[in-house]
Chain A
Amino acid sequence: MTPVSSKLYTDDVSLLMVLIDTNPYLWSSMKNTAFTFSKFLSHVLAFLNSILLLNQMNQVVVIATGYNSCDYVFDSSSSSMQRAECLLEKLEEFVDKDETLSQEDSVDGVGFSLLSGSLSMALCYIQRVFRTGPLHPQPRILCLHGSPDGPGQYVAVMNAIFSAQRSMVPIDSCVIGSQHSAFLQQASYITGGVYLKPQVSDGLFQYLSTVFATDLHSRAFLQLPRPVGVDFRASCFCHKNTIDMGYICSVCLSIFCKHHKKCSTCGSNFGEARKQDPSASGQRRKTPDGS
């Protein structure tokens, strides 16, 4: 007789946080390509439907990553039917709000979207789910991102990545823009997620359903695409040289290729390391007898 299953939750119940990039400048720049925002949205909506189809307990939350702000635009646990309408309505409201927050009239290049903000919101939501008790779906984050990395967000993004790592939440990234993203590449590498830049842009749904729909349980048995390699060697803050060994500020972890008296990033004073006198510290060696 089979004993009563002691499992409290099925393996593949997932909470999927989807971050969609709604940077208007990005999508304007792609207006003339085959892959427009409406196409992107239809692929994403189909993907959300398929995730919710897989398991009744699956939950999907969509966060829009705007140019000036970010917000939750969809939560499958609160809206039951007419998902697409619901999402699009909220998204429109969000874009309106994002526009009013915008101050400058035009941006040079594509500009950056607020990835750090949406990552943090996703993590907050996941933390809230964690605290509802031991019965919760397995969370993961999927970034559908196209804007280039914003250098100013570096610290915030890295903090988000590390807290995701600590709470064992993988960050999957699907890069929809033309260039790779160092942020997302690191995020996926550190948290054990998948980083992928689709080669065929109008096949996005197939990428999503083949790679990113894989629940965490199944990932133990499947080989998902992985990048060729990540070079984590750092460059120093002072000369931007790639270095293997260097000095690190113990306060802010800035990297320098030479010894400095003061950290240029956080202003901490470095104490002088005392040089060890080898003759004083080393004991006299003894030669074995008979020599």
Chain B
Amino acid sequence: MADGKVVKRAKYKSSVKDPGVPGVLKLTKERFFFMPNDPTSTTKLNVEFKLIKGHRSSKEGSSKQALLNLMHDQGRSYIFEFDSFPDRDKCREFVASAIAACGEVVKAASEKPAVPHDEQLSAAEMGRRIKLLQDNSELQKLHRQLVIGGILSEAEFWAARKKLLEQGDIKKPKQRVALKNDMWSVKPLSDGQTNRVTFNLTPEVIHQIFAEKPAVRQAYLKFVPGKMSEKEFWTKYSRAEYLHSTKNIVAAAAEAAEDEELAVFLKQDDMLAFEARKKIRRVDPTLDMEADEGDDYMHLPDHGLPLDETKEILEPQYEPFKRSFSQYLNQHAAVVLRGRVIDVELGDTRSVAEAFTRTNQAELAAEVSDESAYRERIAKVSRVAEIEDLQGPHEPPVALLSIKDPRDYFDSQQANAIKALGDGGTGTRQLKFNVSKEDAFCSLKNSISEINSQGLTEPIISPEVALKVLNGLSQNISSTKYHLGKNPHESVLDRLPSATKDELLLHWTSIQELLKHFWSSYPITAKYFYTKVTRLKDAMSQIYPKLQEIKESVQSDFRHQVSLLVQPMLQALDAAFAHYDADIQKRSAKSGERPNGFA
């Protein structure tokens, strides 16, 4: 126990009657493990003490088994039978202390002393709640006010927010391990004195080489161990790398001519180019990719950029040995972005190479099998596209609307609209006026011919009138500029002092929360609801005068606006109070008949 670990032989049983699985029980401070003796058995255990809420043990006696029962907080229990009682007791002591320690941790983590007594919370659940509160300051304010203030219990508070909790619960997919984003992991080390150059190849490095250079991988599978040993292979590879790093293309070509295995490493990686082209071919075949041809960055050095400065005259026989830096960079980036595609221990070089080849082949196979399905899809797509093109637009079926008297619509609107303009009187006034058709049209025509003969009056408008109108308009504009409520983007709230605004908003949210709980408690079917409702009512009646205070504290020009804002809140509260009082009366009348009240 001193080292914080206890290991005992024990049998694991799912119930007391179960004969049990023999194995080894290992206890540490945080968790316990059970390893069955039979390695094929599936009853391995690995449980955290955090999740254990208690333990029981059988009484000591010669005829009885030495049992220890650890109770999981989800109702399960783990029963272990020990060889002897002293063993069991030792474990029991350890478990007791471990559970106690874990309990403290949980408490410390929760930070909130208000963890309700009536609730068993898993640590995960707790963590989620804490995280939600941390993320959402508004919620935190509400929580502090209502739960810590004792108006609502923790459970009640969260019960209304189950959705919120579930959202956070969505499991994130396991992160895939990526490759190191390091290109120069193979670096020749020269000791400076001799001509020897040393390469350090770790399994990690080899993995990267295989991932980035399929040709090397293929060569490895081909040559090792048949043609040469692993060491010889890597020496050759290193030599090729070294030749490249010295940028001595001519020397590289010369060596390649002598040694055909070495040539594999020195030449451009054909497989890469092949793969890149294959990727482009995978695009929807109806697309003409001619313009993108240069985009695989493979068949053109420096991705097609003519760089005059670096133009070197090379004889065609050396051409395959030229490598471009950009190509390296692209390939490296592609591999790093793809991440670790194989899941093999890195120690064995051969298995790594094989695994790579396997994944490649799997991809290929998948492609081939997809081929027919793919064709089908293409055919379908083009068929659908064609027909859609030729069809007319879809019109929903039309039913004629028969309206008996459209005047009704007008009447329902007009009175209000005119009233809003401020002179309801003139809106409905019918002009007392009667003129014959001939007179009317005649005078109209006279006006037209008048202007036709005389031309426009000059000036159109006298400067005095113009000025009067202009001033009138700009006055109108400046007076309506700050008129509230017309602009949807600005509300009264924005123009209040920010302290008042925050206070109002806070009250608004808490009132909403309280009301939600208040109304959801009706009808009162249990005493619990009754106490809750009383509690809520008290809390609400405390807010009521605060709202009145706010209303009176603001400046007189805002008072009307604020009271407009506060009014619905007060109304909602009033409704709740009224309902509460009515309910109490009904209840007391009933309880007269039924003295037991609510049982």
A145 to B211 Cα, complex, angstroms:
79
- Tell me whether B420 and A231 are in contact (CB under 8 A): yes
Closest to B449 in A: A92
Scoring B408, B419, B450, B486 by chain A CB atoms within 10 A of each residue's CB, the highest score goes to B408
Instruction: Tell whether, in the assembled complex, residue A255 and residue B456 are in contact, meaning their CB atoms are under 8 Å apart.
Output: no
Chain A residues lying within 8 Å of B419, measured Cβ to Cβ, are: 231
Mark the stretch among B34-42, B434-442, B496-504 that contacts chain A. B434-442
- Asked if residues A228 and B468 are in contact (CB atoms below 8 Å), the reply is no
Are A28 and B456 closer than 8 Å at their CB atoms?
A: no
- Residue among A37, A182, A202 making CB contact with B418, cutoff 8 Å: A182
From A46, A105, A232, B416 is in contact (CB under 8 Å) with A232
Contact of B401 among A154, A226, A266, A291 (CB under 8 A): A266
A203-B466 in contact (CB<8A):
yes
**C-alpha gap A106/B457 in the complex (Å):** 32
A228 x B472 contact (CB < 8 A):
no
* A29 CA to B407 CA, complexed, in Å: 25
- Quick one: CB contact mask for B557-588 with A, threshold 8 Å, 1 for yes? 00000000000000000000000000000000
B422 touches A288 (CB 8 A): no
Are B472 and A199 neighbours in the complex by a CB distance under 8 Å?
yes
A135 within 8 A of B: no
Are A205 and B528 closer than 8 Å at their CB atoms? Answer: no
Which residues of chain A have C-beta atoms less than 8 A from B403's C-beta? Answer: 155, 252, 265-266
CB distance from A27 to the nearest CB of B (A): 6
Query: Which residues, 211 to 235 on A, are CB-close (under 8 Å) to B?
Result: 211, 223-235
Contact of A38 among B433, B439, B451 (CB under 8 A): B451
- B348: chain A residues within 8 A (beta carbon): none
Q: Which chain B residues lie closer than 8 Å to A69 at the CB level?
A: none
Contact B451 A88 (CB under 8 A): yes
Question: Of A52-60, A96-104, A121-129, A164-172, which binds chain B?
Answer: A96-104
Which of B408-453 touch A at CB < 8 Å? Answer: 408-423, 426-427, 429-437, 439-441, 443-445, 447-452
Assess whether B118 is interfacial by the CB under 8 Å rule. Answer: yes
Given contacts A22-B444, A154-B406, A228-B422, contact A206 B469 (CB under 8 A): yes
A210 to B439, CA, bound (A): 35
| Shortest Cβ gap from B503 to chain A (Å) | 29
B455, closest chain A residue (CB): A84
Contacts of B486 in A (CB 8 A): 226, 229
Residue pairs across A and B with CB atoms within 8 Å: the count is 236
Flag whether B520 is at the interface (Cβ < 8 A).
yes
Q: Is the CB of B444 within 8 A of A27?
A: yes
Complex: chain B residue closest to A98, CB-CB: B441
Contact B528–A185 (Cβ < 8 Å)? no
Residues on the A chain within 8 Å of B469, using CB = 198, 200, 203, 206-207, 210
Given A84-B456, A179-B427, A200-B472: A206 touches B412 (CB 8 Å cut-off): no
How far, in angstroms, from A19 to B477 measured CA to CA in the complex? Answer: 25
Interface 1/0 per residue, A229-244 and B, CB below 8 Å:
1111111110010100
B526 within 8 A of A: yes
Q: Check B417–A185 contact: CB distance below 8 A.
A: yes
- How far is B477's CA from A282's CA once the two chains are assembled, in angstroms? 55
A118: interface (CB < 8 Å): no
Residue of B nearest to A284 (CB): B525
Name the residue of chain A whose CB is nearest to the CB of B417.
A182
Q: Which residues of chain B are near A154, meaning CB under 8 Å?
A: 406-407, 409-410, 413
B164 within 8 A of A: no
A43 sits at the interface (CB 8 A): yes
Report the stretch among B56-64, B151-159, B373-381 that lies at the interface: B151-159
| Chain B positions within 8 Å of A260 at CB level | none
If A41-B447, A92-B445 touch, does A200 touch B411 (CB 8 Å cutoff)?
no
CB of A42 within 8 A of CB of B456, answer yes
In the bound complex, CA of A180 to CA of B473 (Å): 18
Point out the residues of chain A lying under 8 angstroms from B417, CB to CB. 182, 185-186, 230-232
Complex partner residue of A225 from B429, B436, B477, CB under 8 angstroms: B477
Q: Are A158 and B412 in contact (CB under 8 A)?
A: no
Give Cα A109–Cα B431 distance, bound, in whole angstroms.
Answer: 6
Question: Beta-carbon contacts of B469-482 to A below 8 Å, as 1s and 0s?
Answer: 11011001100110
Contact mask B124-139 → A, CB, 8 Å, 1/0? 0000000000000000
Within 8 A of B (CB), among A123-164: 149, 151-152, 154-156, 158
Task: Check: B119 CB closer than 8 A to any chain A CB.
Answer: yes
**B409 contacts A155, CB within 8 Å?**
yes
Task: Give the Cβ gap from B455 to chain A, nearest Cβ, in Å.
Answer: 8
A234 CA to B470 CA in the complex, in Å? 36
Question: What 1/0 mask marks residues of chain A from 31 to 47 whose CB sits below 8 Å from any chain B CB?
Answer: 10000111101110110
Q: Does A285 sit at the interface, judged by CB under 8 A? A: yes
Residue B163 at the A interface, CB < 8 A?
Answer: no
- Contact indicator A180/B118 (Cβ below 8 Å): no
How far in angstroms is the closest Cβ of chain A from B246?
A: 45
A269 sits at the interface (CB 8 A)? no
Chain A residue at smallest Cβ distance from B457 = A42
**Max chain B Cβ within 10 angstroms of own Cβ: one of A102, A154, A254:** A154
Q: How far is the CA of A45 from the CA of B485 in the complex (A)?
A: 37
Bound together, the chains give a CA A42 to CA B476 distance in angstroms of 26
Name the A residues within 8 Å of B473 (CB-CB): 207, 210-211, 225
Q: In the complex, A74→B525 CA distance in Å?
A: 78
Interface residues of B in 24-57 (CB under 8 A from A): none
Partner of B452, one of A85, A106, A240, A267: A85
A27-B437 contact, Cβ under 8 Å, with A88-B448, A182-B413, A225-B476:
no
Give chain B residues whose Cβ lies under 8 Å from the Cβ of A99: 437, 441
Measured between alpha carbons, how far is A234 from B155 in the docked complex, in Å?
Answer: 46
Known: A29-B431, A236-B412, A240-B411. Contact between A290 and B406, CB under 8 A? no
Q: CA–CA, A102 to B435, complex, Å?
A: 14
**Complex CA–CA separation, A95 to B441 (angstroms):** 7
- List chain A residues, Cβ under 8 A from B448: 37-38, 41, 88, 91-92, 95
Chain A to chain B: the 7 pairs with minimum beta-carbon distance, closest first = A291-B528, A290-B118, A24-B440, A154-B410, A182-B417, A203-B469, A37-B447
Interfacial residues, chain B to chain A (CB-CB below 8 A): 117-119, 153, 155-156, 159, 401-423, 426-427, 429-437, 439-441, 443-445, 447-452, 455-457, 460-461, 465-466, 468-470, 472-473, 476-477, 480-481, 483, 485-486, 520, 525-529
21 sampled A-B residue pairs with Cβ under 8 A: A25-B440, A37-B443, A37-B448, A42-B451, A178-B426, A182-B427, A200-B465, A206-B465, A206-B470, A225-B473, A225-B476, A227-B420, A228-B420, A231-B420, A232-B417, A233-B416, A234-B416, A235-B412, A236-B412, A265-B403, A267-B402
**Supplied contacts A152-B406, A234-B413, 18 more A-B pairs, CB within 8 Å:** A27-B444, A29-B431, A41-B448, A42-B456, A42-B460, A88-B448, A95-B448, A106-B436, A107-B437, A151-B414, A154-B406, A154-B413, A180-B418, A204-B461, A225-B473, A226-B480, A237-B408, A265-B403
